[in-house]
Amino acid sequence: MSTPRTILLRGLILGVLAAILSAGALIGYVLWYTHTDRMLPGVKIGDVPVGGLGAGEVVQRLGEPVEAAALQDPIARRPEPSPPLPALELRAEGQRWVLERAAAGPLPDWSAAVRQAAAIGRGGSTLSQVRDYLSGLVHGHQVPVPLIMPDEPIRARLEEIARQVHRPPIDATYDFQTDTLTPEVDGVELDIEASTAVVHRALLLEQPAVDLVVRPALARVRREHLASAQQYQIARFTTPILSADPGRVHNIAMAVRRISGVMLQPGEVFSFNDQVGPRDKEHGWAQAKELYQGEFVLGYGGGICQVSSTLYNSVLLAGLEVKERYHHDRPLSYVRPGRDATVAWKVLDFRFRNSAEHPILLGARVLPGEPQQIEVTVHAPKPVAGPSIALEEEDVHYIPATLVEIMDPSLPAGARQVVDEGHYGLEIKVFRVFGEGASKRRELVSHDRYEPKAGKVRVGVGNGPGADRLIDPGLR
């Protein structure tokens, strides 16, 4: 016979077993539920209840664009277009622009909110998953919709504005021809990074207008730099302008102005082509004779090679490092062989580096006289402390030009008529010499070879039949 105590004990055991079975059933149900694509009960995204909804149902309920990856569901659809928001006014340097808020933001990040909502109850231990499930039933889960600020449309607009705001600085210059120093003029530029942050804040706070951030664009060369750099002349070289052709003189004067007053900090590289610019009619250059494949031809900018050659010699005498230099096809009259530097736009350049430990300033001018002269000087803020520098030539070998005879029946027998004198060739080494006496040091600067060009002479052989066919067609 069962006693009351036995009945009570049995009841307790059955109650515990029922509780265990119920808890097990709940745990099993929660584990099953969290393996579906349904949101936990009580979940809200913003103000929209989505608890118990599957992936596709969440998208339809929100009516907003959601990345498929957020729900693993491809049926995401876009919402109905919202009414346009008022544009944000952007201001800088007395100018005004607008930025449409609809594209710039802030925009709700529905995908991030859905990912956060879908993760509720699907992480941590089994106990925490059950707790999240029960908490949703009792209290619910509120998931805020974060706002995002897409940088791309904002930066694209700011880059457009930056081009309109930008006022490039103008370096201070010193004109050696007129002994005139022109001070620098600082420019301005838009600070895109700082302006982006300002625009973000204005959009979030729904401000009607905002001032963009501009900063000064400082001139690289300032008047005090020039005043200091020109104190000491450390090198000078001149070449005579032997041809008074107006086009050549114009081009020389133009190139001289382009290189005069250029200042280089230690380690900076000077490019003649970059400094002087393209040589064509549109850029103000005149036609004059220039060397092309050993022949004198008309070309825009003819004559500026004399400027680059004069600069080359001054650079050598200043002890600076030559990075790129080419010689002409033939020796020239205005400078000694091995001491020339030819240039051609986008093809041949003359470049050197300021290998000194201080800034240098280039001076250039056309000196009056008969003939006029090109003068190029190099200046520094302190006198040269090292040894003196000189240039020496060595191993000079002249290569005579051959003479091609062309039989010409149109000339009397034995008559000779020079058509092209050609020119001799030459091989030469140029050394830079530092110091004198026992401490003298020599450095090979160049080893050039100027190829000879054959001359042509007509030799008369009388006026016989078929004479016309024997004449070189190139000599007609």
Close Cβ partners of 67 (under 8 Å, ≥ 6 residues apart): 76, 111
Instruction: Give the side-chain half-sphere CA count within 13 A for 96.
Output: 6
Strands of the sheet with 351-353, listed across from one edge: 269-271, 351-353, 321-324
Structure pTM? 0.65
Higher pLDDT residue, 344 or 10? 344
Q: Mean pLDDT, to the nearest integer, of 230-259?
A: 91
Q: Which long-range contacts (CB under 8 A, 24 or more apart) does 53-61 make?
A: 58/114, 58/117
Are 299 and 290 a contacting pair, CB within 8 Å?
A: yes
Q: Which pLDDT tens digit goes with each residue over 259-315?
A: 998 999 999 999 999 999 999 889 889 877 666 555 566 667 788 999 999 999 999
Helices 192-204 and 151-165: angle between axes, nearest 10 degrees? 130
DSSP 470: H
Are 307 and 256 a contacting pair, CB within 8 Å?
A: yes
Q: Which string of DSSP letters, residue by residue, matches 286-351?
A: PEEEEEETTEEEEEETTTHHHHHHHHHHHHHHTTPEEEE----SS--SSS-TT-----BTTTB--E
Q: Which of 265, 338, 276, 264 is nearest to 304 (CA)?
A: 276
Higher pLDDT residue, 168 or 132? 168
Per-residue pLDDT, 100: 85
Per-residue pLDDT, 101: 80
| Side chain identity, residue 84 | P
Q: Is the pLDDT of residue 476 over 60?
A: no
Q: What is the band of 63 on the pLDDT scale with cuts at 50, 70, 90?
A: low
Close Cβ partners of 2 (under 8 Å, ≥ 6 residues apart): 10
Are 366 and 373 a contacting pair, CB within 8 Å?
A: yes
Q: Is the pLDDT of residue 97 over 70?
A: yes
Q: Is the pLDDT of residue 9 over 70?
A: no
**439 token code pair:** 């401490």
Q: Which pLDDT tens digit goes with each residue over 393-441?
A: 999 999 988 888 889 888 888 898 888 888 889 999 999 999 888 888 9
| Side chain identity, residue 82 | S
Q: Is the pLDDT of residue 466 over 50?
A: no
Are 133 and 197 a contacting pair, CB within 8 Å?
A: no
Q: Which string of DSSP letters, residue by residue, matches 154-204?
A: HHHHHHHHHHHH-B--B--EEETTTTEEE--B-EEEE-HHHHHHHHHHHHH
Please provide residue 191's backbone torsions phi and psi, each rounded to the nearest 5 degrees.
-85, 100
The percent of residues above 90 in pLDDT, for the chain, comes to 39
Q: Which pLDDT tens digit goes with each residue over 117-138?
A: 888 877 778 777 778 777 777 7
What domains sit in the chain, N to C, each tagged with a CATH number? 221-385 (no CATH), 392-476 (2.20.230)
Cα–Cα distance, 415 to 413 (Å, whole number): 6
